[in-house]
């Protein structure tokens, strides 16, 4: 995905130190699931998405990387729509950890697509994870499950 950035000021999400742990996660994903076809990653400030994408694209370039935002935390989607990074007024959201008003500059590279999932699907996903998987998660930890439950990735059916 391309964004005409011109002169931009980096955010804390663009610092190399913020990308190191997510890069390690990307390496671990490839080690754990070498045949992975696609990875779905929640987008807040963007350092998680960026760090994982850097590592995964280096190790397995054909892997598709998708970012996921909620309909109340979509600063990246709005930035792409306007072709510039924007500051978004954040609403109250179930995915509190994704409530960032401006995504980092490095977030726009190495991704296949960006999906917006509705908050009601996130609530359903949280309940599914609590009831069926016996884990307690904040909404941000459930957005990828929500996107799958909502059927937002039909192109990934049958893929790892």
| CA neighbours closer than 13 Å in the CB half-sphere of residue 160 | 10
Domains in the chain, ordered, with CATH? 12-115 (3.40.50.1100)
| Opening angle at CA 45, ends 17 and 30, nearest 5 | 65
Residue 107 confidence class, pLDDT cut points 50, 70, 90: confident
Residue 21 backbone phi and psi in degrees, to 5 = -65, -45
The pLDDT value given to residue 15? 47
Question: How much is the mean pLDDT over the chain?
Answer: 86
The pLDDT value given to residue 6? 45
| CA neighbours closer than 13 Å in the CB half-sphere of residue 80 | 15
């Amino acid at each position: 995905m391309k964004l005409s950035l011109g002169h931009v000021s980096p955010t804390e999400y663009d610092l190399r130190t913020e990308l190191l742990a997510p890069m390690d996660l990307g390496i671990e994903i490839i080690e754990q699931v070498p045949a992975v076809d696609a990875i779905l990653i929640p987008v807040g400030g963007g350092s998680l998405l960026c760090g994982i994408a850097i590592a995964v694209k280096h190790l397995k370039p054909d892997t598709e990387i998708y970012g996921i935002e909620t309909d109340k935390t979509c600063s990246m989607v709005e930035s792409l729509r306007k072709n510039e990074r924007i500051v978004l007024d954040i609403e109250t959201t179930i995915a509190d950890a994704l409530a960032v008003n401006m995504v980092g500059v490095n977030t726009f590279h190495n991704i296949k697509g960006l999906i917006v999932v509705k908050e009601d699907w996130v609530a359903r996903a949280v309940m599914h994870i609590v009831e069926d998987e016996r884990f307690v998660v904040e909404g941000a930890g459930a957005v990828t499950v929500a996107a799958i439950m909502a059927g937002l990735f039909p192109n990934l059916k049958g893929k790892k």
